[in-house]
Amino acid sequence: MNIQQIIYVVEVYKLHSFSLAAHSLFVSQPRLSQAIRDLERELGFDIFERNRKGISGTTVRGYEFIIQARNVLKQFSSLENFKESPVSSFHLATTLVSQAQNAFVNLCSQNAQNPHLNFDMFFCGCYEAVDRVKNFGYDLGIVTIIDPQLSDWMSYFKSSKLDFHDLLCSKYQITVHQNSDLAARSSIKPEDLEGYTYITEKCSRMNSLTLQVYSLLDKICPKARITVSNTDIMYQLVSDNRAFTLDCMPLDEKTCRKYSLVSRPLDENLRVHFGYIVPANMPLSQLSITYLELLKKELLLHR
């Protein structure tokens, strides 16, 4: 099987005619017909249903093959365009962690004058980060995983042909206004949160939460809960109300200053791993290496 045979098949399907396809591709009809016959023999099934006038349609398996063939041609066209394009890209899938966002902003700022670079950051949970890196060509996936579930996720990463690199393991953080009576404490117990409203962001609920975490949330979170779809709104609500939110690590200094917030560790024996996933046995791009260096600096600043 070769790309030329795939082109012939797709063109015949599009024009519903061997002769018209041959004319469109500037080849003789016998040559085109023989190439498709050779392909069908190699596949072990007919792609087209034939009659005395030409073709009457496709077989069931032939139609399935054509769908795949068209996808292959799209990918081939993308590769051809990539060969001719001077533009490089960096695609990041990340959970809602301020340090990851800050590192991305810094990377973009460092390369702001380069017209040949494209940057893309997509907010998501762990499962979608795996999907983006595995199936959609994302360079890195930033994920957070609770300690009891780490071994399960490592198995999932391995089956998805991804490598996980652990950067930090810490306790969950309770974020409150700096003038809250909880702000003066070195750590916060679940019972200390009675009377506070829990503010959460939709995307953060898509992370790797097990039943243990849900049980914890039920214990520490009162019935008064507010769910939003924007981190700025989430932190503003925490700042303006007797409220709190749950973060996987201390907030960065910039966010704390902007909303007058502080982070205090949750006094529970539950830790979260923060790291990144990449395709297994694939070298990192220079942009990925630079991003990870910036991310590690952010983590050191806010430990």
**pLDDT tens digits for 166-187?**
999 988 899 999 999 999 999 9
Domain count, the chain: 3
- Which parts of the chain have pLDDT scores under 70? 78-86, 203-223, 302-303
What gap in Å lies between CA 150 and CA 270, rounded to an integer?
A: 12
Helices (H), 45-192: 60-84, 98-110, 126-135, 150-159
> Structure pTM?
0.67
Together in a domain, 136 and 67: no
Asked if residue 250 lies in contact with residue 171, where contact means CB atoms within 8 angstroms, the answer is no
Query: Where are the extended beta strands (E) located within the chain?
Result: 48-51, 54-58, 88-94, 117-123, 140-146, 162-171, 173-177, 197-201, 225-228, 243-247, 261-265, 271-279
Q: Do residues 153 and 290 both lie within one domain?
A: yes
The answer to whether residues 175 and 265 touch, using CB atoms and an 8 Å cutoff, is no
Predicted pLDDT at 267: 85
Sequence-ordered list of residues with C-beta below 8 angstroms from that of 112, at least 6 positions apart, any chain:
none
Alpha helical stretches, state H, 172-285: 211-220, 231-240, 253-259
Q: Are residues 53 and 183 in the same domain?
A: no
Residues 163 and 173 in one domain: no
Q: Both 63 and 107 in a single domain?
A: no
- Whether 25 and 156 map to the same domain: the answer is no
Domain boundary (68, 84, 100) is at: 84
| Residues 229 and 265 both lie in one domain | yes
Same-domain pairing of 284 and 154: yes
Residue 155 and residue 285 in one domain? yes
Parent domain of 266: 169-272
Q: How far apart are CA 240 and CA 176, in angstroms?
A: 10
* One domain for residues 79 and 124: no
Residues 161 and 281 grouped into a single domain: yes
* pLDDT of the residue at 249: 84
Which of 84, 101, 116 is where one domain is finished?
84
66 and 182, same domain (yes or no): no
